[in-house]
Chain A
Amino acid sequence: MSGPAPDFGWTFYAPLSTLYGPKSTDFFIFSIHMMGVSSILAALNIVVTIFNMRAPGMTWMKLPIFVWGWLVTAFLLLGVMPVLAGCVTMMLMDRHFHTSFFNAAGGGDPVLFQHVFWFFGHPEVYILILPGFGVISEVIPTFSRKSLFGYHAMVYATVMIAVVGFVVWMHHMFTTGAPFVAQLFFMYATMLVAVPTGIKVFNWLATLFKGSITFETPMLFAIGFLIMFTLGGFSGVMLALAPSDYQYRDSYFVVAHFHYVLVSGSLFTIIAAIYYWLPKWTGKMYSERLGQLHFWLSVIGMNVTFLPMHFLGLAGMPRRIPDYPLQFTDFNQICTIGAFIFGLAQLIFLYIILKSCFGKEKTPHHLDNRVWEGAHGLEWTLPSPPPYHTFETPPAV
């Protein structure tokens, strides 16, 4: 099959994707279906595992907070992946079976697409971050040598984020001509979700307070996350204000916001998790100096790339454009330089991972079970690397 890849934005709005999408669009729809099936089955697996296979004595409020994060995320996946499947199926119908779900001439409405997509899309972004919150809630206590502040509040906040996250989707659609009352509701609900998120940030700070802190690489990424994800949250609150969003929407301000919460948010939590648990998985410690280099280059690269985008957006540069007016040139050039710094920094990460997984050490030295001094949890009672099968007999909790 020849022709272009999907080119209608990752949000694949109809009617652009239905009427003008290239041939690859149908394969794209098929891929989304399969990926949704995979996610739903994986989420089911996770829910069943956590409900049924906890060690005796591990009550709900003793569950590690990373596991709580994934439990809530799994329910989100179960709730919204079918909606995405419905969305792309309607697209397929419109493309090939003469339906008019999203075609006004046939009695449908393009805005319907946006509702269905964003009903999936907003919980999706919580799916992308909640396990990461769980990781941070594991890493910060370990390197502060202090237990997580407010474990119960963290659990309730996670659940609240997930629940409220179901009723905010229209903040992606403020300019579609919705009734005033609807816009007001979605504005208030979106601002509301900042409250449990704020609770989590404050609890992480409280965990750090009077802790005995060391700054190994996982902790660096966790603290970097704390600061920069919060910055992303601030731009998020700005976007939540409907009248202001009328100006910010579809500009680089939005691009800056979601890259701050996705890159220095989600991605940094994943990187922190890798540095935290890779020594457990491989039994080898990565080079701390290289890890620190990776961190600083990533932070510098990330900020140089995405901070100017806030200003570009406020100055009026739209999203998804390959060409722009002359006045935006300087900041765009800064962004490009930052992007290359960030990109090259990830090669360091690649090297660290490959060395840890496949490198041969001159004098094999396997790590302790408790790789990190302040680490607590059942996984730290296992050898590093753990045997192929672990906990064949449940441990005592």
Chain B
Amino acid sequence: MNGTMTESIHTAGAHDDHAHHGPEKGLKRWLFTTNHKDIGTLYLFFSLLMLFVGGFMALIIRVELFEPGKVLVNPEYFNQMTTMHGLIMVFGVIMPAMAGLANWMIPMMIGAPDMALPRLNNWSFLAFTFCF
């Protein structure tokens, strides 16, 4: 599974399979993880989902604006779409995607085994999802 690995010899910890077991299976793994890779993945999938939710709202906006007058939705609903589109895209897509990239890449790029406070990291993600 590890392709060419001679050059990664100096990263001694990189592929030591004697470190007991791999991750657990199932929902518990994802709910209670403290692993930066898993948390990064969680943030990124959440962001991807929100991209389509916010994007769907954008399309409703654009359909309504296709012609003057009412096309699809009434003005009150339109205002909700514009508001939620903005909130979801800013707080639900861009920010968690950047956070996901941070969680995945920062430890690997600085040669660290994980983030400094892994349980806090997990809690941050869960609190964040709860907002939505």
Q: Is A363 an interface residue (CB 8 A)?
A: no
Q: Is B42 an interface residue (CB 8 A)?
A: no
Query: CA of A397 to CA of B112 in the docked complex: distance in angstroms?
Result: 12
- Please, what's the 1-or-0 string for A339-352, where 1 marks a CB less than 8 Å from any CB in chain B? 11001001000100
Q: Is A195 an interface residue (CB 8 A)?
A: no
Residues of B within 8 A of A (CB-CB), count: 87
Measured between beta carbons, the chain A residues less than 8 angstroms from B17 are 387
Q: How many Å from the CB of A132 to the closest CB on chain B?
A: 7
Q: When the two chains form their complex, are residues A45 and B65 in contact, meaning their CB atoms are under 8 A apart?
A: no
Query: CA of A367 to CA of B58 in the docked complex: distance in angstroms?
Result: 38
Segment at the B interface, from A31-39, A86-94, A108-116, A166-174? A31-39
* Residues of A bordering B, CB below 8 Å: 4-12, 31-32, 34-35, 37-39, 41-42, 44-46, 48-50, 52-55, 58, 63-64, 66-67, 70, 73, 124, 127-128, 131-132, 135, 262, 266-267, 270, 273-274, 277, 281, 283, 305, 320, 322-326, 328-329, 332-333, 335-336, 339-340, 343, 346, 350, 353, 366-370, 377-379, 381-384, 386-397
Q: When the two chains form their complex, are residues A329 and B107 in contact, meaning their CB atoms are under 8 A apart?
A: no
Measured between beta carbons, the chain B residues less than 8 angstroms from A67 are 105-106, 109-110
Given A64-B109, A384-B3: A7 touches B15 (CB 8 Å cut-off): no
Q: When the two chains form their complex, are residues A397 and B95 in contact, meaning their CB atoms are under 8 A apart?
A: no
Q: When the two chains form their complex, are residues B99 and A322 in contact, meaning their CB atoms are under 8 A apart?
A: no
Q: How many Å from the CB of B14 to the closest CB on chain A?
A: 5
Q: How many Å from the CB of B117 to the closest CB on chain A?
A: 5
Query: CA of A215 to CA of B62 in the docked complex: distance in angstroms?
Result: 33
- Please, what's the 1-or-0 string for B109-132, where 1 marks a CB less than 8 Å from any CB in chain A? 111111111001101110110111
Query: CA of A270 to CA of B100 in the docked complex: distance in angstroms?
Result: 10
Query: CA of A234 to CA of B2 in the docked complex: distance in angstroms?
Result: 47
Number of A-B contacts (CB under 8 A): 271
Measured between beta carbons, the chain A residues less than 8 angstroms from B84 are 5-6
Query: CA of A396 to CA of B67 in the docked complex: distance in angstroms?
Result: 62
Measured between beta carbons, the chain B residues less than 8 angstroms from A270 are 47, 94, 97-98, 101
Given A45-B116, A55-B112, A323-B68: A383 touches B102 (CB 8 Å cut-off): no
Measured between beta carbons, the chain A residues less than 8 angstroms from B16 are 387, 392
Measured between beta carbons, the chain B residues less than 8 angstroms from A39 are 95, 99, 124, 128
Q: When the two chains form their complex, are residues B111 and A391 in contact, meaning their CB atoms are under 8 A apart?
A: yes
Query: CA of A340 to CA of B58 in the docked complex: distance in angstroms?
Result: 9
Q: How many Å from the CB of A135 to the closest CB on chain B?
A: 7
Query: CA of A383 to CA of B19 in the docked complex: distance in angstroms?
Result: 16
Q: When the two chains form their complex, are residues B112 and A391 in contact, meaning their CB atoms are under 8 A apart?
A: yes
Q: How many Å from the CB of B11 to the closest CB on chain A?
A: 5
Q: How many Å from the CB of B52 to the closest CB on chain A?
A: 7
Measured between beta carbons, the chain A residues less than 8 angstroms from B48 are 350, 353
Q: When the two chains form their complex, are residues A10 and B90 in contact, meaning their CB atoms are under 8 A apart?
A: yes
Q: When the two chains form their complex, are residues A323 and B75 in contact, meaning their CB atoms are under 8 A apart?
A: yes
Given A41-B120, A53-B116, A266-B94: A332 touches B110 (CB 8 Å cut-off): no
Given A7-B80, A42-B99, A45-B124: A325 touches B112 (CB 8 Å cut-off): no
